[in-house]
Amino acid sequence: MTFAAVDVIRTKRDGGRLSDEQIDWVVDAYTRGVVADEQMSALAMAIFLNGMTAEETARWTRAMVDSGERLSWSTGRPTVDKHSTGGVGDKITLPLAPLVAACGATVPQLSGRGLGHTGGTLDKLESVPGWRARLSTEEIGAQLASVGAVVCAPTEGLAPADRKLYALRDVTGTVECVPLIASSIMSKKIAEGAGALVLDVKVGSGAFMPDLASARELASALVEIGVEHGLRVSALLTEMSTPLGRAVGNAVEVAESVEVLRGGGPADIVELTLALAREMLALAGVEADPAEVLASGRAYETWRTMIAAQGGDPDAPLPTPAHTHTVTAPRAGVVAGLDARGVGVAAWRLGAGRARKEDPVQAAAGILCLAKPGDRVAAGDPVLELHTDTPERIPAALDALDQALVIADEPPPTRPLVIETIRP
């Protein structure tokens, strides 16, 4: 069935419900270039302003899945994946994928790159010498069978409608739209072929969803779509007002992830890694204690095998910055706040992130948080260490940090890292 694009736009502009046939047609026609960018821009803005029902969102997701290939993995073990909505210092995929694989599940983790203040998993891993992000479908399948985990870029044939629409939303002010965010995330995750999925929906200043109500709305939409498409799915709402761990950037986050896999690392990274691992294993039906597996060193060995399988050298030194700059405490007291967004923007300005998808990133750029909320400091104590290869970027990074650090007389109230879990 064929429609006029302007009629589809009018339906949503006037607050109407798009039919299944309209959705199927417009997504397919846009992917093929029949619907022009300006027409899809108008429709995206109409959706942004008037929303979509749960049924519309599920159908929109299905249409984006159907725009490309749908992968399937036969490894003899249950498949399970995790997706994070993005945060600052959110390196959890790096220790989590090999940990869950070492517990007995298969983890096909197709990941993305960073944009703006949130980091990208592929950018972090590319700081490992030799490691490559792009694999063929056959290479992914072989690695899942031999290693049990893969972290790589999506294949070209995976949800091409989403790839095209994502780029359009980024330049038309329609990114922050729950139905479009939910369908974008889930179309890729459904197409990648995992049987179960755990969603890490971030809440706070460093997240795309800064308040609990909007994060809960997004998490519920994601879970609904997953159920509609036959996935075993749940979502954890997790705190993102303060950077996760002490490292923010690329190589520094890889180094911190290796610390975790070797039995150390910051307590919050270990806590969230284990919480997500337990949820993933429960959905996959695998009985294992991820804390015991992490302590045994088996997850670290899986990490080494996973990195080597993609051409990386797990023993090679990670890149180090040409320049560092230390931010000190302006007064004695307790660190009462370290704003995640401010730290994320600063790391981005140092070269760890990008403003446009085609921009390069610096492997060595980033920030080490030498003090976190609750830590007591004296005047002049080092609090943040800035890393970059281009020192002319440091003043702009310091501007981003201007209001990020708060020193007070009393420690801040503690906040749970995992706020709540949403299940079908």
> What amino acid positions are annotated as catalytic residues?
83, 162, 169, 184, 188
In this structure, what DSSP letter does residue 302 have? H
Q: Which two tokens stand for residue 26?
A: 């417009």
Strands 196-203 and 80-84, bridge-based pairing: parallel
Integer Cα distance of 191 and 59 in angstroms:
14
CA distance 108 to 173: 31
- Rounded to whole angstroms, the Cα distance separating 362 from 366 reads 9
Pair 83, 96: CB distance under 8 Å: no
**Using CA atoms, how far apart are residues 61 and 46, in angstroms rounded to an integer?**
17
CB 42 within 8 A of CB 32: no
